[in-house]
Homo-oligomer: A and B are copies of this chain.
Amino acid sequence: MPQFYEDVTVGNVETYGEYAVSREEVLRFAEQYDPQWFHVDPERAEHESPYGGVIASGWHTAAMTMRMLVDGHLAEAATVGAKGVDDLRWRVPVRPGDTLRIENEVLEKVPERPERGLIRARTRTFNQDDEEVFSMIGNVMYLRRDPDPVAADDESDDQE
């Protein structure tokens, strides 16, 4: 059974992953979407970067985090996408050879509409040394199992 808006509990914390970060994937993602030298040029990064070697694009870290969220949770959830993300932070560089995992905490439920509601959740990504490398607060639209006619019908800031 998919997880609907009614099934989500504020305060619930779950952990998902892992995701092994390969050098080949770090370079491939960055070459396509973020070809800055400290992501795509191992030689120069080793000698000139403050990070001492190539690091993953921050958008790659976000994408790997999303994959863990989908596999661990969203594939079973009755969502129709997300409105956006707040307070996205890259805290520690992600490097080839790292192994990532995530922790997801439900912060708030917003009734929003008769047929669906918004779940605000904080996702934190950790590496194999338990360093928090990334975090964000997502705003995901969940369908209701049973429409709620009294939920506010707020059309603002909406993909549809």
Chain A residues with a Cβ under 8 A of chain B = 29, 32-36, 38, 49-51, 55, 57-59, 62-64, 66-67, 70, 74-75, 79-93, 157, 159-160
Integer count of this chain's copies in the complex: 2
Q: Once the chains bind, are B157 and A67 in contact (CB under 8 Å)? A: no
Q: CB within 8 A of A66: which of B57, B86, B87?
A: B57
Q: Once the chains bind, are B91 and A159 in contact (CB under 8 Å)? A: yes
Given contacts A33-B63, A91-B157, A91-B159, 9 further A-B contacts (CB under 8 A): A32-B63, A34-B63, A36-B70, A51-B159, A55-B81, A58-B82, A59-B59, A85-B85, A88-B88
Q: Once the chains bind, are A50 and B90 in contact (CB under 8 Å)? A: no
Q: Once the chains bind, are B160 and A66 in contact (CB under 8 Å)? A: no
Q: Once the chains bind, are A90 and B86 in contact (CB under 8 Å)? A: no
Chain B residues lying within 8 Å of A51, measured Cβ to Cβ, are 159-160
- What residue in chain B is nearest A89 (Cβ atoms)? B84
Q: Once the chains bind, are A35 and B75 in contact (CB under 8 Å)? A: yes
Q: Once the chains bind, are A75 and B36 in contact (CB under 8 Å)? A: yes
Nearest Cβ in chain B — how far from A129, in angstroms? 15
Q: Once the chains bind, are A33 and B66 in contact (CB under 8 Å)? A: yes
Q: Once the chains bind, are A89 and B157 in contact (CB under 8 Å)? A: yes
Q: Once the chains bind, are A66 and B34 in contact (CB under 8 Å)? A: yes
